[in-house]
């Protein structure tokens, strides 16, 4: 039995609800799941098992090491970062499909007699992917393409670039032997049915991120919880924490929690974040330390040994800390015990 003084409570029902919501929003398209970066920090195996149980069939990771972690589950996995020479052994062993994104990768895959693959096309983000002109010139001819993909640069904004990328991608329909086409990430799903194609690839919204209108039904999945190591009274005029940035305006009851920026509870939450005791907000006081955090508990009867939940609703936490929802969730560190609360 581990007795870690901090844990991530992970809500299985909310995760499954979010996938079903995104699946419904995807219309006739299938809805997959991006589980790269260890399931955005939740634990890729735990996420993939639960989503596979809910009916999800397509999983996306960044690297072959990540694909290897999922291999025992026997799922259909695509590796978004393609296949380097060093990855060919793993790729030819068939634990996942590479998402080929350069002419060199395509040549390597052909030369090795690789079978089914996916291909990334760049439609304007200028990140990974082959050029549409090269596709038109026959670069992909003869490849056994399962899914042709592209990726939206600005799906969380209402800008003309979204439609430009969609149109450039749609123009490739029928130009390759691809069985399916896939464009939309979490925010792209909310752009409407003409962004869904045959398969969607949400990540952030599965885990409770809400980046734009249309994701109101998405629920929080990740709840960081930390144990109170000490409770103290800070007298009026005294200060709390490094650099003495918070001064008590009156005698204040303070709880010291076992969590800090080394756990991904970043310094941007200093004097801006909060813990929750039920409905009561307990403000962060002063600087976040590496491993410790002070919160004011005048409003709650918090005692040494109690557990408090940090306010980690992603849109609000991003606004408070000045970090992106993606950074907040993927940054949650290794010292948490990850505890899945199963659906009732």
Ligand X SMILES: *Cc1c(COP(=O)(O)O)cnc(C)c1O
Coil, strand or helix: which one is 305?
A: coil
Give the DSSP letter of residue 130. B
Closer by beta carbon to ligand X, 108 or else 201:
201
| Dihedral angle computed from the Cα positions of residues 150, 154, 159 and 161, in that order, rounded to the nearest 10 degrees | -30
Residue with tokens 């069939």: 57
Give the DSSP letter of residue 235. P
| CB within 8 Å of 301: residues ≥ 6 apart | none
Beta carbons of 252 and 296 less than 8 angstroms apart: yes
CB of 257 to ligand X, least distance (A): 29
Taking residue 280's Cβ as centre, other Cβ atoms within 10 Å add up to 13
Give CA–CA dist 31/19, Å, rounded.
Answer: 8
Beta carbons of 172 and 212 less than 8 angstroms apart: no
CB of 75 to ligand X, least distance (A): 16
Instruction: Please give the angle made by the CA atoms of 226, 231 and 233, to the nearest 5 degrees.
Output: 140
Q: Which of 190, 286, 217 is nearest to 17 (CA)?
A: 217
Closer by beta carbon to ligand X, 156 or else 225:
156
Closer by beta carbon to ligand X, 51 or else 295:
51
Q: Which two tokens stand for residue 217?
A: 């039904």
CB of 66 to ligand X, least distance (A): 12
CB of 202 to ligand X, least distance (A): 5
The residues annotated as belonging to the active site are: 36, 242
Decide: residue 233, CB within 10 A, 0-12 exposed, 13-18 middle, 19+ buried: exposed
CB of 144 to ligand X, least distance (A): 20
CB of 315 to ligand X, least distance (A): 14
- Measured CA distances, 1 to 4, 208, 337 (Å): 9, 29, 11
Give residues in contact with ligand X (CB under 6 A).
34, 36, 80, 151, 185-186, 201-204
Closer by beta carbon to ligand X, 78 or else 258:
78
- Measured CA distances, 332 to 9, 42, 60, 149, 229 (Å): 12, 8, 20, 29, 20
- N- to C-terminal Cα distance for the chain? 24
Q: Which of 93, 39, 86 is nearest to 66 (CA)?
A: 39
Closer by beta carbon to ligand X, 78 or else 302:
78
Q: How crowded is the C-beta side of 240, counted as CA atoms within 13 Å?
A: 31
CB of 25 to ligand X, least distance (A): 12
């Amino acid at each position: 039995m581990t007795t870690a003084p901090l844990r991530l409570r992970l809500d299985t029902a909310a995760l499954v609800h979010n996938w079903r919501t995104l699946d419904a929003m995807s219309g006739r398209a299938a809805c997959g799941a991006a589980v790269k970066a260890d399931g955005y920090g939740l634990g890729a195996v735990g996420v993939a098992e639960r989503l596979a149980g809910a009916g999800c069939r397509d999983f996306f990771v960044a690297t072959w090491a990540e694909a290897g972690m999922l291999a025992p589950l026997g799922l259909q996995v695509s590796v978004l970062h393609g296949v380097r020479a060093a990855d060919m052994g793993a790729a030819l062993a068939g634990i996942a499909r590479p998402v080929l994104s350069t002419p060199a990768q395509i040549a390597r895959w052909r030369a090795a007699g690789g079978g089914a693959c996916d291909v990334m096309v760049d439609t304007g983000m200028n990140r990974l992917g082959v050029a549409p002109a090269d596709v038109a010139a026959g670069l992909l001819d003869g490849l056994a393409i399962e899914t042709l993909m592209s990726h939206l640069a600005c799906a969380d904004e209402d800008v003309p670039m979204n439609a430009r990328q969609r149109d450039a991608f749609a123009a490739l329909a029928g130009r390759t032997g691809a069985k399916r086409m896939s464009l939309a990430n979490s925010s792209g799903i909310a752009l409407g049915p003409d962004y869904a194609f045959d398969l969607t690839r949400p990540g952030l919204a599965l885990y409770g991120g809400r980046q734009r209108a249309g994701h109101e039904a998405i629920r929080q999945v990740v709840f960081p919880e930390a144990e109170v190591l000490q409770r103290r009274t800070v007298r009026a005029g005294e200060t709390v924490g490094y650099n003495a940035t918070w001064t008590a305006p009156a005698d204040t009851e303070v709880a010291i929690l076992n969590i800090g920026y080394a756990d991904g509870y970043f310094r941007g939450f200093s004097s801006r974040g909060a813990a929750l005791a039920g409905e009561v907000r307990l403000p962060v006081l002063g600087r976040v330390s590496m491993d410790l955090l002070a919160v004011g508990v005048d409003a709650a009867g918090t005692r040494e040994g109690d557990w408090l939940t940090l306010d980690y609703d992603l849109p609000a936490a991003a606004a408070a800390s000045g970090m992106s929802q993606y950074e907040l969730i993927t940054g949650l560190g290794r010292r948490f015990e990850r505890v899945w609360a199963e659906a009732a």
